[in-house]
Amino acid sequence: ELISDPLTAVAGADAIYTDVWVSMGEDTEADSKREALALYRVDEALLAAASARAVVLHCLPAHPGEEITEGVLYGERSVVFDQAENRLHAQKALLEELVE
């Protein structure tokens, strides 16, 4: 099922994952992408529509105020920095395996 309404999409969700809207080199499309995706910003209202135990993830780097609000990014339900730390350890293990 394809759901275009973000509040409906997160209803009952245990995790909300977002990413940057504009990648490096997409400067000419940046404004139109920001305008088109503004409805999907992960903010306090969107998080409130999810499960009470829902966490927020982001692969970083984040642009607070764009795809995610600062309050959600640094809030108590954010596991963004734990996620980044876990990725670091996984990458170190992979690097060690490749070097051996």
Q: What are the residue ranges spanned by the domains of the chain?
A: 6-99
pLDDT digits (tens, 9 = 90+) for 30-86: 999 999 999 999 999 999 999 999 999 999 999 999 999 999 999 999 999 999 999
Give the pLDDT confidence score for residue 40 in this predicted structure. 97
Give the pLDDT confidence score for residue 64 in this predicted structure. 97
CATH code linked to domain 6-99:
3.40.50.1370
What is the distance in angstroms between the CA of the first residue and the CA of the last residue of the chain?
Answer: 45
Structure confidence at residue 95 as a pLDDT band (50, 70, 90)? very high
Measured CA to CA, the distance from residue 52 to residue 70 in angstroms comes to 19
